[in-house]
Amino acid sequence: MALSAVLAALVLSAVHVLAPTVATEKRISGRNWLSLAGGISAGYVFALLLPELAVRQAALPARELRLIAEREIFISALAGMAACYWLEHLARRAPNDSSGWQLGRVDPGLRIHAVAFASYSALAGYLLIGKSGEGTAELAAYTFAFGLHFFVNDQFLRRFHGAAHDRWLRWSLAGAVIAGFALGAAFPVSEALESHAYAFVAGAMILNIFKEELPEERQGNVGLFILGAAGISLLGLIL
């Protein structure tokens, strides 16, 4: 197991733990932060992530059902987006009490978000092992993009669930990253199955970007959004 992958897992886990203290709206303008984060995440998706899905699709073995086989990676990405949308729909419709942080009386909306985002973090941690095999630069880009993405997700959960996030939810998400990483190290899967898992996470990430990381037009900072997107896209051209 590469030391760089272990460090990457610790970094992603630490993002969840430190989210309440690293930056708040009092320290960083929420509008500017979301614009920059949205640009970086969108740039990562379109300049690095989607091209990698195309490469992974081409590397899959030929199958009899060509109509599906030629698009199966992208179908997995669509499934990730649809699952994320469905769970978010359920969470927002379910009762939620931000003061109900005790594990014994977790509200349905909080429970859905906890399971959904913990699974998301675990999958991101699981994929670190494969990413470490692609090179240090690719692993660093993955860790940076997902670390920023996780931070914005944590800010959303803090706004939505209040004290519950700071009391126990952030620790659950941090533990999920480590658990997913440990699972990937102990039980490696085939390259094809890993590609589908990567595509599923990619689909969920795309939805989260447009749901949370892109502020409303009147609140957004177009310059910072373009700066973030251009910066990570340039990195994609170099890698």
CA 179 to chain centroid? 16
In-domain check, residue 49: no
Model's pTM, two decimal places? 0.84
Tokens of 65: 């059902």
In-domain check, residue 175: yes
Between the CA of residue 63 and those of 69, 77, 78, what are the distances in Å? Answer: 6, 19, 20
CB atoms within 10 A of CB 54: 11
In-domain check, residue 238: no
Q: Report the alpha-carbon distance of residue 153 to residue 175 in Å, rounded.
A: 16
Whether the CB-CB separation of 183 and 119 falls below 8 Å is answered with no
In-domain check, residue 169: yes
pLDDT in tens, 35-73: 787 788 888 888 888 888 888 888 877 665 554 666 888
Structural domain for 163, as ranges: 3-9+71-219
User: Looking at the 3D structure of the chain, how many domains does it have?
Assistant: 1
In-domain check, residue 234: no
pLDDT in tens, 174-232: 999 999 999 999 988 888 888 889 899 989 988 888 777 665 555 667 888 889 888 88
b/e code 5-27 from CB counts within 10 Å (16+ = b): beebbebbbebbbebeeeeeeee
Who contacts 65 (Cβ-Cβ below 8 Å, separation ≥6)?
Answer: none
In-domain check, residue 106: yes
In-domain check, residue 139: yes
Whether the CB-CB separation of 217 and 161 falls below 8 Å is answered with no
